Amino acid sequence: MVHSVELTLDEAGDAAVRRIWTALQDADLPSQANHTGASNRPHTTLTVAEEISGAADAELVSMLPKLPLPCRLGAPVVFGHGRYTVARLVVPSAELLAVHADVHRICLPHMPSGALHHTEPGQWTAHVTVARRVRAEQVADVLAIAAGAEIDGGFAGLRHWDGNARVDHAISG
């Protein structure tokens, strides 16, 4: 399993993404709404590693004054091959890119194997996932539902997901 550090959305952004999840589910398409775990919520992953020591959490508290951080969800994007992931891109602001770089810098000493390459500064694609394991013949239908007006909201929280224990730890001061 993996560990990650994630930004969670404010109430308005969370609700807007959950409406997409519900519309996909209602259309009998793959949807993040099908994952009913208590920790499943719309988010943007900032960094991922095989392990991130819990000691990073105390240092990540320094990021809290930067929240809330405005965010805009833009066009849909498709990742993968065979079974696809569909997401809404997060329009990158200078502030978001700075938060991403700071979180990477803070977490790196607490990642014995380092960060996964696609989450490093300069390689990262900020997004909020709406559906996973989408078959090729479903992509057009999922995109038709996932597309729409830009969603304005904010990033309101920061959490550390421990995939081994399947627990999220809210970063709070």
Check which CATH number belongs to the domain holding 41 and give it.
3.90.1140.10
Distance of CA 106 to the CA centre of its chain: 18
What's the longest Cα–Cα distance across the chain?
A: 46
Give pLDDT, residue 37: 79
What's the Rg (C-alpha) of the chain?
Answer: 16
In a domain, 49, yes or no: yes
pLDDT greater than 90 at residue 167 = no
> What is the mean pLDDT of the segment spanning 15-43?
93
**Rounded to an integer, what distance in angstroms lies between the CA atom of residue 57 and that of residue 149?**
35
> What is the mean pLDDT of the segment spanning 17-37?
95
Confidence of residue 38 (pLDDT cuts 50, 70, 90): confident
Total structural domains within the chain: 1
Confidence of residue 166 (pLDDT cuts 50, 70, 90): confident
Give pLDDT, residue 165: 85
Task: For residue 40, give its domain range.
Answer: 3-168
Confidence of residue 173 (pLDDT cuts 50, 70, 90): low
In a domain, 173, yes or no: no
* % of the chain beyond a pLDDT of 70: 99
Q: What is the pTM of this model?
A: 0.94
- Per the prediction, the chain carries an average pLDDT of 95
Angle, vertex CA 45, rays to CA 97 and CA 149, nearest 5? 75
